[in-house]
Amino acid sequence: MVETLSIAVIGAPGVGKTSIIRQFIYNDFSEVYTPTRTRYVYRPSVILNGNMYELKILDVPPISSFPSSSNQEWLDLRCRGVRNANAYILVYDICCVESFEYVKMIRQQIVEYREGSSSEVPILVVGTKRDLQRQRFMPRRAVSVLVKKTWKCGYVECSAKFNWHVVLLFKELLGIAVSRGMRGNHTAIRLQGALQRNRCSIM
């Protein structure tokens, strides 16, 4: 049986959520910014340690807050499936402190509002636009320490424009999911190839 992993990708406007997803799945990047106005679902497949997983990647439009209840989730079309996601990618722009504050707020709300054991849900914080790092608002090490030590989340920086660390961030998230019991035992993850247009990756 093929397991399905639902991943919600959340971030402030213009941080590059869709660019990361499209680079991961289609090896495609557009210089033209198109705001995400509705929730969009991508369904690539990956092979991890000989097991196939169907990914359900939710490209979530900017939301004012994480849905605090199932009723709120279903009343807002943009939030459908967000509360029950198996993992979260919280995206911010390393050059924009406001986008980081947004991620900080959403992470805290996930911890407060998510049903069940929120401490067990994999959360990966992703700093985008690494190619513009000279304009960053905080040193990478300071952000990494805060996210990993205080928030207890994974942390990766990437550049969708140059396809730098894009596959790595999904590999990292899957690693966290596996280690927290998505499969019975945590095993080493070896990346053998990036996603091609057939939407299947061997990891």
Half-sphere exposure of 73 (CA within 13 A, CB side): 16
Identify whether 82 is part of a domain.
Answer: yes
Residues 171, 75: contact at Cβ < 8 Å?
A: no
Q: How far is CA 19 from CA 74, 97, 139, in A?
A: 26, 20, 23
CA distance 90 to 132: 19
Note the pLDDT of residue 177. Answer: 82
Identify whether 62 is part of a domain.
Answer: yes
Identify whether 96 is part of a domain.
Answer: yes
Identify whether 191 is part of a domain.
Answer: no
CA distance 141 to 201: 30
Identify whether 111 is part of a domain.
Answer: yes
Domain at 43, CATH number = 3.40.50.300
Q: Which domain holds residue 102?
A: 3-182
Domains identified in the chain, total number: 1
CA atoms 110, 116, 119, 122: torsion sign: negative
CA distance 22 to 6: 17
53 φ, ψ (degrees, to nearest 5): -130, 135
Identify whether 197 is part of a domain.
Answer: no
**Whole-structure pTM value:** 0.86
Note the pLDDT of residue 62. Answer: 92
Note the pLDDT of residue 73. Answer: 83
SS3 category, 154:
strand
5 CB neighbour count, 10 Å cutoff: 20
CA distance 54 to 103: 26
Residues 122, 154: contact at Cβ < 8 Å?
A: yes
Note the pLDDT of residue 199. Answer: 52
User: Tens-digit pLDDT profile for the chain (203 aa)?
Assistant: 678 899 999 999 999 999 999 999 999 999 888 889 999 999 999 887 777 889 999 999 999 999 988 888 888 888 888 988 999 999 999 999 999 999 999 999 999 887 655 557 899 999 999 999 999 999 999 999 999 999 999 999 999 999 999 999 998 898 888 777 654 333 333 333 344 444 555 55
Residue 31's contacts (CB-CB under 8 Å, 6 or more residues apart) are none
